[in-house]
Structure 1
Amino acid sequence: MAEINYEIIKHIGVLSKAKSGWTKELNLVSWNKREAKYDLRDWAPDHEKMGKGITLSNEELLALKECLTETDLNL
């Protein structure tokens, strides 16, 4: 299996924290030395392990923000 390299360029925020210490975070991450993208996923406390997540370009993040702004989130 190929090694995955990553660098958290900017920590934006923690959305939740599990009893195990893992946190769901939004960060700006460079994967395999590529241009950094916004990244939403679970991280171990030491950031050495991560769960599955999604990456978003700046344009996709802005589109998501617009969708959330226009949506009634009071379910």
Structure 2
Amino acid sequence: MSSTPYEIRQTVGTISENAKGWKKELNLISWNGREPKYDLRSWSPDHERMGKGVTLTAEELRQLRELLNGMDL
């Protein structure tokens, strides 16, 4: 388990799941009791273990959306 206290306030959605059940999720998380931020990372099925990820403010997430909308995928 992480030594950093966290609280998942909202699960926005799951992007993928691997064969071991770990899910790459976008969540709204409060780290260390601070204001919640959007967080994209892999989680074990019980949410006790996590992989490396990226944490974004709402403004950063909006900017990322703009960048992705501009891409030809």
Shorter-chain TM range is: over 0.9
C-alpha displacement of 1:3: 2.7
Q: Distance in 1 between matches of 2:52 and 2:5?
A: 15
Q: Distance in 1 between matches of 2:3 and 2:21?
A: 25
Which structure would you say has the larger Rg? Answer: 1
Give the structure-2-normalised TM-score.
Answer: 0.95
Number of the residue aligned with 1:28? 28
Q: Distance in 2 between matches of 1:3 and 1:61?
A: 26
Number of the residue aligned with 2:40? 40
Aligned residue runs from structure 1 range 1-75, under 5 A = 3-73=3-73
Amino acid at match of 1:25: E
Pairwise CA RMSD = 1.2
The percentage of counterpart residues that share the same residue type is 57
Give the structure-1-normalised TM-score.
Answer: 0.92
Runs of 4+ deviating beyond 3 Å: none
Q: Deviations over 1:21-73 (max 9, x none)?
A: 10000000000101100000000000011010000000000000001111111
Q: Structure 1: state its 5+ residue gaps.
A: none
